[in-house]
């Protein structure tokens, strides 16, 4: 299997070459040259497999530069009941007639990002050992991504993590989750500033090519193809749990921010999994909902990007969206470049409303969308508690609200549960007047000793800290 860039760069790469890379050299995103097709006989065979083996089968179609026995061992080591809480790994439960919740957030940091990041940690360790190389991951987080990365990379050989976060701005629970890690290779850096300052620092350090090369700086952001690929697996696992045979369509609703999660659903659908509809759920930051309603993709400025009660969906642009648009325009790289480089670069938007391709977003590709407000999420949290004695987090509440707007009788609607409510306790308290119960292993974590350094919002200070801690 070879990978190409959405922007038309002539090079083709194999999986392990792009594993440790971010963007393609021309600024595009990597995609497989074609989507492997899965027929009904294969689906029938896969239906009975435990999650780790299903993961191995799907990953094998995209990874041909890791020996199968090694890849199988990596999957088996990643997807265990010990790490994800149940043998099913992503158990499905019916909430009401035809509406299901697929639990993706029972990993170490209680958000769905663990599903991919835990595999990435094992893949990185494996590949770095094979190359005799090291990687220093530099990131910026306001919560979920940073903790998922740290829990995936802790104790891994050849990897260090330097994670910046805005000092004092994460929830006490999120701070405790990250700062209580005592592993030598995990470095928490609290920056005196806001999240944008952290992101600017990461950019400044990455743009210093000499420093980047010398200290082997890398990232684990959501455009990484391996993360997306790992997420394809739970669409198959959800499908098998929601159906008794492989001729039945299923729809999925996905709380979305950077379009990574739902893009994995798109890949599963392109492979032939019988997905009828992919519902993109957004919050007040409705860049994606606007596109699927109107055909106009309009990147938001800072002043237009809202801080909401589903903060992991607070985006100004959706960094994985380019992958879908590449397929939408028939994999025409020149066309894609015009949209993402020229139109977005010059005017901050592009408009496909008059283009036949746009009709295919809903038609051929099965996309629909919805948006929710803070009041909608509170209402869903209350209603789900009252009618089903089930607590959902505000991101999953975005999903439930969107799902109900697109239900078709007879077609199971699977809503992806992207976080556990305890991570967003303040909103649960606002909705219900009380804190959600806390999983046992997180009791009292706020009182644990913290491992964190405080640095000014200055790239030079962060570089000096990395240099000091790299020997
Ligand atoms: C990251 C995240 C999302 C958004 O996922 P994307 O892949 O960026 O679309 C939704 N919910 C939660 C809880 C998240 O952590």
Domain 92-110+226-432 has CATH 3.40.50.1100: yes
Q: Catalytic: 113?
A: yes
Domain range summary for the chain, segments of one domain joined by +: 92-110+226-432
Q: Is 261 in the pocket of ligand 1 (CB under 6 A)?
A: yes
Task: Retrieve residue 65's tokens.
Answer: 């530069």
Residue 352's contacts (CB-CB under 8 Å, 6 or more residues apart) are 295, 296, 297, 328, 339, 358
CB 339 within 8 A of CB 298: no
pLDDT of residue 411: 98
Task: Look at residues 448, 455, 450, 445 and name the one whose alpha carbon lies nearest to residue 164.
Answer: 455
Place of tokens 């094979």: 130
DSSP 55-79: HHHHHHTT--SS-HHHHHHHHHHHS
Backbone region of residue 228 per phi and psi (left: phi > 0; alpha: psi in -120 to 50; beta: other values):
alpha
Residue range 421-431, pLDDT digits in tens? 998 999 999 99
Task: Look at residues 435, 427, 411, 421 and name the one whose alpha carbon lies nearest to residue 106.
Answer: 421
Residue 412 has pLDDT above 90, yes or no: yes
pLDDT of residue 471: 72
Across the range 440-469, mean pLDDT stands at: 94
CB 305 within 8 A of CB 299: no
Q: What is residue 279's three-state secondary structure?
A: strand
Residue range 26-65, pLDDT digits in tens? 999 999 999 999 999 999 999 999 999 999 999 999 999 9
C-alpha of residue 375 to centroid of ligand 1, in Å: 20
pLDDT of residue 332: 97
DSSP 296-337: EEEPPPGGG----SSGGG--SS-TTHHHHHHHHTTT-HHHHH
**Angle at alpha carbon of residue 467, lines to 465 and 471, rounded to 5°:** 115
Residue 439 has pLDDT above 90, yes or no: no
Task: Look at residues 44, 57, 55 and name the one whose alpha carbon lies nearest to residue 83.
Answer: 55
What is the position in ligand 1's atom list of the atom closest to the CA of 256? Answer: 9
Pocket test for ligand 1, best of 144, 253, 320, 394 (most atoms within 8 A of CB): 144
Q: Is 74 in the pocket of ligand 1 (CB under 6 A)?
A: no
pLDDT of residue 22: 81
Longest dimension (CA), the chain: 60
**Selected catalytic residue, list 13, 45, 72, 113:** 113
Q: What are phi and psi of 254, to 5 degrees?
A: -130, 110
- Please tell me the distance from the alpha carbon of residue 55 to that of residue 46, in angstroms, as a whole number: 10
pTM assigned to the model = 0.96
Strands 250-255 and 413-417: parallel
Residue range 288-338, pLDDT digits in tens? 999 999 999 999 988 888 889 999 998 888 999 999 999 999 999 999 999
Q: Is 285 in the pocket of ligand 1 (CB under 6 A)?
A: no
Place of tokens 């792009």: 18
**CA–CA distances in Å: residue 10 to residues 33, 59, 360, 447:** 12, 25, 27, 54
Across the range 116-132, mean pLDDT stands at: 97
pLDDT of residue 373: 98
């Amino acid at each position: 299997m070879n990978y190409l860039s959405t922007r038309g760069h002539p090079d083709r790469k194999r999986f392990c070459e792009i594993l440790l890379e971010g963007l393609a050299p021309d600024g595009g995103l990597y995609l497989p040259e074609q989507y492997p097709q899965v027929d009904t006989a294969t689906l029938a065979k896969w239906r009975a497999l435990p999650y780790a083996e299903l993961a191995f089968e799907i990953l094998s179609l995209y990874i041909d530069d890791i020996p199968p026995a090694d890849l199988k061992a990596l999957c088996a080591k990643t997807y265990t009941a010990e790490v994800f809480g149940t043998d099913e790994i992503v158990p499905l439960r019916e909430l009401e007639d035809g509406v299901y919740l697929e639990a993706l957030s029972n990993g170490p940091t209680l958000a769905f990002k663990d599903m991919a990041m835990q595999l990435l940690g094992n893949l990185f360790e494996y590949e770095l050992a094979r190359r005799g190389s090291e990687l220093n991951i530099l990131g910026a987080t306001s919560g979920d991504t940073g903790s998922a990365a740290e829990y995936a990379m802790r104790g891994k050989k050849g990897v260090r993590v330097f994670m910046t976060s805005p000092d004092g701005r994460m929830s006490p629970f999120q701070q405790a989750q990250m700062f209580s890690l005592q592993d030598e290779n995990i470095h928490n850096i609290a920056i005196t500033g806001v999240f944008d300052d952290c992101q600017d620092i990461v950019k400044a350090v990455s743009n210093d090519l000499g420093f980047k090369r010398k200290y082997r700086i890398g990232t684990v952001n959501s455009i990484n193809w391996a993360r997306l690929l790992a997420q394809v697996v739970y669409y198959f696992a959800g499908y098998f749990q929601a159906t008794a045979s492989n001729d039945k369509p299923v729809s999925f609703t996905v709380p979305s921010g950077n379009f990574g999660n739902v893009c994995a659903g798109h890949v599963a659908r392109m492979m032939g999994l019988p997905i009828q509809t992919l519902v993109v759920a957004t919050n007040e930051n409705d860049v994606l909902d606007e596109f699927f309603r109107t055909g106009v993709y309009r990147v938001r400025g800072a002043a237009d990007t809202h801080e909401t009660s589903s903060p992991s969906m607070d985006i100004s642009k959706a960094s994985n969206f380019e992958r879908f648009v590449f397929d939408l325009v028939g994999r025409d790289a020149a066309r894609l470049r015009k949209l993402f480089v020229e139109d977005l670069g010059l005017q901050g938007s592009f408009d496909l409303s008059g283009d036949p391709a746009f009709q295919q977003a809903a038609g051929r590709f099965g996309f629909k969308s919805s948006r929710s407000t803070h009041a909608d999420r509170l209402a869903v949290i209350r209603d789900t508690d009252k009618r089903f004695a089930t607590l959902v987090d505000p991101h999953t509440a975005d999903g439930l609200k969107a799902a109900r707007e697109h239900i078709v009788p007879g077609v199971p609607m699977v809503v992806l549960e992207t976080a556990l409510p305890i991570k967003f306790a303040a909103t649960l308290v606002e909705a219900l007047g009380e804190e959600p119960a806390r999983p046992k292993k997180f009791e009292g974590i706020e009182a644990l000793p913290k491992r964190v350094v405080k640095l000014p919002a200055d790239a030079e200070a962060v570089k000096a800290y990395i240099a000091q801690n790299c020997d």
